[in-house]
Structure 1
């Protein structure tokens, strides 16, 4: 079958947080509309919404590798191997200052990943990378093979991971340079109140007298005095303690791994989603 760019773009909107929240409530109207719009109702009669979505994902993977597909495949085929220990955590859309990183991982080191598809513009990339370098040990960009020449000399301290849309494989083109300096001002914007207080207490042994009005400035001043190596380790520990559900690496229905990470689903919530999607199309 052949698909127009508008149809592929329309299909790609199905894999979004707002759509998944509707499905959890048993609302599949958006899927029904697409089935009718593209004369697919009869073809999918007796099939489940789950089967239709899995087929749609494969269509997007082959013809329209947008950010969702690239991120999902990267989770399934690369980060799963990189996780290492059980206390490693992965964040979807990690905010640093005015930038939002596509993925961030914390295990022995902190790594951040920015995805650039063939559909993306690069005008914001320079500022994004500069923000990421302020708190992460390693910064990577993930690009399709077609864009390697475009990004290979963009910033030589940034690692590059390529994606082959034909073989569906990722490859390490260049390892990221190690960054051992953390900008304490940027770090304070990332940390929650409980976290910056815990970091301050962990290093100095106790906290000075403070209240809700001055605790930020007091802890900011304390954290700025922590040696870089110690601060990096304390930052890693704080991120690993966050309540992030990383039990999403399911081989079965792996098309939904990224969206489950995005919504921070627990196992039961994921199971509820899949079971609901087993409903047959109208």
Structure 2
């Protein structure tokens, strides 16, 4: 039996670059891209890694980051594992990653019987633009939450409006409710919701509201659909809008989150990517590479 030496890392910032959706995509592809990921991981090590599996090294690396470099991917992973999967049924809920609303991009959006939008501010982030981001989010969603590390809770608690919720990423790597959001639909904006939709989604929204297929040339279709949608109250538009964006996540992806094959630190990637079966099979297999 091969004896494995303790693993240590040279630079948490370099290591953090490997824990992202963009980086993990390389593990889904055989050949050069996967090899590039492995070499990048090896370059962050300042110890012998002989006998370790890729899964084992990434397990250790994740714990290292939790202690020394809590970047956004760790917050999103914990939000999915310790908040969404624990509190909500995935049969009726979806979590969307990097959702554009107005001039801002929300870190995550949860849609089920209600709807919540999450803005993450890590210890590495600045509160710059927070007020603008929150105002944008209110134009499409009813409950706005700020997610921060527990060391910064008090700092942000006094900086946000009363209706904004606050979630705390604790030292025990849990997501705790510090303050619940108060639902607010007074700022909903139909045009902002419309612009966040894909073309086929906008057509579907117009059909669901009016009960008819819009009559327009391809060039004028977007404008026609937007005019149709503008005829309906914001609350009615939002209800149909939420049902439509829920379809962006395949139900099979929700079911996949129950699998014990997926390490906790990889679930957010698999979920946000809406991962295909062939990519999933290769990804899980690559974790068993032994050095």
TM-score of the superposed pair, with normalisation by structure 1: 0.90
Q: Over residues 71-110 of structure 1, what are the superposed CA-to-partner deviations in whole Å (9 max), with x where a residue is unaligned?
A: 1011111111233251321111111122111111111122
**Residue 274 (structure 2) aligned to one of 264, 274, 280:** 264
Instruction: Please say if residues 109 and 236 of structure 1, whose CA atoms lie closer than 8 Å, have aligned partners that are also in contact.
Output: no
Matches within 5 A, 1:26-105: 26=31, 27-36=34-43, 38-40=45-47, 42=48, 44-84=49-89, 86-105=91-110
Instruction: Please say if residues 139 and 158 of structure 1, whose CA atoms lie closer than 8 Å, have aligned partners that are also in contact.
Output: yes
Instruction: Please say if residues 7 and 45 of structure 2, whose CA atoms lie closer than 8 Å, have aligned partners that are also in contact.
Output: no
The reply to whether residue 274 of structure 1 matches residue 281 of structure 2 is no
Instruction: Please say if residues 138 and 185 of structure 2, whose CA atoms lie closer than 8 Å, have aligned partners that are also in contact.
Output: no
Instruction: Please say if residues 214 and 225 of structure 2, whose CA atoms lie closer than 8 Å, have aligned partners that are also in contact.
Output: no
TM-aligned CA deviation for residue 144 of structure 1: 0.8
Structure 2: which 5+ runs fail to align?
1-5
TM-aligned CA deviation for residue 36 of structure 1: 4.9
Query: Residues 188 and 81 (structure 1 numbering): CA distance in 2 closer, same or farther, change over 3 Å?
Result: same
TM-aligned CA deviation for residue 250 of structure 1: 4.0
Q: Over residues 144-174 of structure 1, what are the superposed CA-to-partner deviations in whole Å (9 max), with x where a residue is unaligned?
A: 1111111112222210011112x22221111
Partner of 2:3: none
**Would you identify which runs of 4 or more consecutive aligned residues in structure 1 move more than 6 Å?**
1-4
Structure 1: which 5+ runs fail to align?
none
Specify which structure has the bigger relative contact order, considering alpha-carbon pairs within 8 angstroms and separated by 6 or more residues: 1
TM-score of the superposed pair, with normalisation by structure 2: 0.87
Query: Residues 265 and 37 (structure 1 numbering): CA distance in 2 closer, same or farther, change over 3 Å?
Result: closer
Partner of 1:174: 179
Query: Residues 30 and 192 (structure 1 numbering): CA distance in 2 closer, same or farther, change over 3 Å?
Result: closer
Instruction: Please say if residues 50 and 274 of structure 1, whose CA atoms lie closer than 8 Å, have aligned partners that are also in contact.
Output: no
TM-aligned CA deviation for residue 57 of structure 1: 0.6
Aligned-residue CA RMSD in angstroms?
Answer: 2.2
Cα separation, 2, equivalents of 1:239 and 1:49: 35
Partner of 2:247: 241
Partner of 2:210: 204
Aligned pairs, how many? 277
